[in-house]
Amino acid sequence: MLEYLKLDNVGPAPRMEITPSPRLNLLTGDNGLGKSFLLDTAWWVLTGHWPRDVNSGMTTGFPARPVDPGKTATISSRIRGKTKSYERKATYSRSGEAWVKKRARPGMPGLVVYAHANGSFSVWDPARNYWRDQENGEEERLSAYVFSEAEVWDGLWQESNGRSVPVCNGLLLHWAHWIDANNDNARAMATALSALSPNKESEVIRPGPLLRLTIRDGRDIPSIETSYAGVVPILHASAGIRRVCALAYILTWAWSEHRIAAERRGDEIASQIIMLFDEVESHLHPRWQRTILGALRDLGDTLFGGVDIQLLASTHSPLVMASAEPWFDPDKDAWFDLDLEGNPPEAKLRPRPYTLHGTVGSWLTSKAFDLATDRSSVQAENAILRARKILRESNPSLDDVMDTHRELRAALPDVDAFWVRWNAFVESRGGTP
Ligand SMILES: Nc1ncnc2c1ncn2[C@@H]1O[C@H](COP(=O)(O)OP(=O)(O)OP(=O)(O)O)[C@@H](O)[C@H]1O
Ligand SMILES: [Mg+2]
């Protein structure tokens, strides 16, 4: 479990510090303030490698650079291992353009799965990936599994000892093979898809039969059954379905391979999984945005037979934020928000108290999203802000009042709650609403 992460003079802010909770950690903040960067850095402290260094096909996950190259830059972390916590501090070497730290295996005893915002995935497995401990003569293993979006589907090859070796068959081949063999992985994949479905009763993603797309394409392609379009080959499925299928696949593959490797090595099976999830709502319909967090929270039980999952998830969605209201537990869960503060403005990461808001609109005007009103259009918001200003004036002119009234009329529906107060005000100023 990641217990602590502190960045000094690194990335988009002079300083960032986070003490994650053991279960759910929500991360909000405007575009460009550093949510993905923070997840990249969390991945690095947990696994010892930047995603882009492992796979040059990645368009994200680059090594962190200092804000001010002339000053010391450090990344400090604390990771809870099986029996104790490991503190680490890395310092940036300006001349070497690299992070220097004590050479040691990552302390993380469980799997780390990173769902990047662009559909790529990274997996680190304590039984399959680690740094070579030359003194003990250990064989060199891959540093991590970093899949571009295409590699999730078509398979991953990696350089090892100067050779390119196949390390994962990819969703299309693996899933087809699992279905053909009717094996445990086929069942795990179906379980994961059902658990991650928008609605476990009425909108379940069900695996369908294997299909051929064309005569020329010799592959048996997995499919899903839909209530609206019959059987859909997975390559034709919608972006939301494919994102969730890719996640279900990566989890099923990572867990199954971990168990095989742990058994070969005589290791215990991991008792924790850390999941880093960037933009957890991507491609999902609002109904689905309301269920995804709860489904991820429960995966430790539904898919992994009782493993603790620590989730760090970034979001731009008020529905995702609102969806944790019924079960958010401050002892297990936390919310962190990035905001611009001060002059000149600097990105600041702060823990925020998670309280019940009840409506999405109320989340929009909360510290998570900082909107001035919960109205849908910018025009409606501007009209309301102008009207509120007039309401505060001691003696506004009737022209101004009626100008604003017309602006409100053009932008607000008749049912908007603001009318009650505004119409009374217009009448009090001698106007006709
Ligand atoms: N490898 C890096 N080293 C140093 N700074 C970085 C690095 N990668 C990103 N940044 C900084 O972080 C900023 C963007 O951060 P990031 O991509 O994490 O934003 P975000 O909060 O995820 O935004 P969005 O919501 O648009 O995805 C960049 O503008 C840049 O200043
Ligand atoms: Mg981002």
Ligand 2 centroid to 41 CA: how many Å? Answer: 13
Output DSSP code: residue 322. Answer: H
Running DSSP on this structure, what letter comes out for residue 203?
B
The preferred substitution site among 7, 10, 15, 36 for testing ligand 1, maximizing ligand atoms within 8 Å of CB, is 36
In a domain? residue 81: yes
Same domain, 297 and 416: no
Are 13 and 121 in a shared domain? yes
Give the pair of three-digit tokens for residue 160.
């090892």
Instruction: Enumerate the β-bridge partners of residue 93.
Output: 98
- Regarding whether 284 and 414 lie in a shared domain, the answer is no
The DSSP 8-state label assigned to residue 219 in this structure reads P
Shared-domain flag, residues 392 and 423: yes
pLDDT of residue 106: 58
Q: Which residue, by CA, sits nearest to atom 14 of ligand 1?
A: 32
130-134: list long-range contacts, CB under 8 Å, 24+ apart: 130/105, 130/106, 131/48, 131/103, 131/104, 131/105, 131/106, 133/105
Return the ligand number nearest the Cα of 29.
1
Residue 105 region, left (φ>0) first, then alpha (ψ -120 to 50), else beta? beta
Q: Which of 17, 71, 16 is nearest to 346 (CA)?
A: 16
Q: Which structural domain, as residue segments, surrounds residue 404?
A: 378-428
Our answer on whether the CB atom of 195 is closer than 6 Å to any ligand 1 atom is no
Q: What is the pLDDT of residue 141?
A: 75
170 shares a domain with 94? yes
Residue 51, ligand 1, Cβ within 6 A? no
Q: Does 316 lie in the same domain as 406?
A: no
Tokens of 147: 């899949």
Instruction: Return the CATH number at 307.
Output: 3.40.50.300
> Does residue 80 lie in a domain region?
yes
Tell me, yes or no, whether 334 and 418 share the same domain. no
Residue 100 lies inside a defined structural domain of this protein: yes
Query: Is residue 44 lining ligand 1, measured as CB closer than 6 Å?
Result: no
Distance CA 406, CA 383 (A): 9
Out of 301, 323, 355, pick the residue that ends a domain: 355
Name residues with Cβ closer than 5 Å to ligand 2, which is an ion: 35-36
Q: Which ligand is nearest to the CA of 62?
A: 1
3-class DSSP state of 311: strand
One domain, residues 323 and 402: no
Residue 369 forms part of a structural domain: no
Question: Is the Cβ atom of 65 under 6 angstroms away from ligand 1?
Answer: yes
- Is 206:321 a contact under the CB 8 Å cutoff? no
| 37 Cβ inside 6 Å of ligand 1 | yes
**pTM to 2 decimal places:** 0.94
Ligand at minimal distance from the CA of 63 is: 1
Q: At what angle do helices 418-428 and 398-411 cross, to 10 degrees?
A: 160
Number of structural domains the chain divides into: 2
Distance CA 171, CA 156 (A): 10
Which atom of ligand 1 is nearest to 117's Cα? Answer: 27
**Is 433 part of any domain?**
no
In a domain, 368, yes or no: no
Closest atom of ligand 1 to CA, residue 316: 25
Using the mean position of ligand 1's atoms as its centre, give its distance from the Cα of residue 394 in Å: 46
Q: Is residue 92 in a domain?
A: yes
User: What residues pair up with 7 in beta bridges, in sequence order?
Assistant: 16, 75
Closest ligand 1 atom to Cα of 10:
4
Residues 343, 349, 355, 357, CA torsion sign: positive
Ligand 2 center to residue 243 CA distance, Å? 17
Q: Tokens 């592959």 sit at which residue?
A: 219
The reply to whether 397 and 280 lie within a common domain is: no
Q: Are residues 183 and 139 in the same domain?
A: yes
The burial of 72, by beta-carbon neighbours within 10 Å (0-12 exposed, 13-18 middle, 19 or more buried), is given as exposed
The pair of three-digit structure tokens given for residue 380, joined into one six-digit string: 């409606």
339 and 387 assigned to the same domain: no
Of the candidates 355, 370, 393, which is a domain's last residue? Answer: 355
Q: What is the pLDDT along the chain (433 residues), one digit of tens a residue?
A: 999 999 999 989 999 999 999 999 999 999 999 999 999 999 999 999 999 999 999 999 999 999 898 999 999 999 998 888 989 999 999 999 999 987 666 567 799 999 999 999 999 999 998 755 555 666 667 889 999 999 999 999 987 778 888 999 999 999 999 999 999 999 999 999 999 998 877 788 999 999 999 999 999 999 999 878 889 999 999 999 999 999 999 999 999 999 999 999 898 999 999 999 999 999 999 999 999 999 999 999 989 988 999 999 999 999 999 999 999 999 999 999 999 999 889 999 999 999 999 999 999 999 999 999 999 899 999 999 999 999 999 999 999 999 999 999 999 999 999 999 999 999 999 998 8
Dihedral sign for Cα atoms in the order 366, 23, 1, 314: negative
Ligand nearest the Cα atom of residue 278:
2
Q: Is the CB of 327 under 6 A from ligand 1?
A: no
Q: Could you tell me if 113 and 274 are in contact, meaning their C-beta atoms sit under 8 angstroms apart?
A: yes
Claim to verify: residue 269 and residue 388 sit in the same structural domain: no
Q: Is residue 385 part of a domain?
A: yes
So what's the pLDDT on residue 202?
78
Which among 355, 370, 388 is the end of a domain? 355
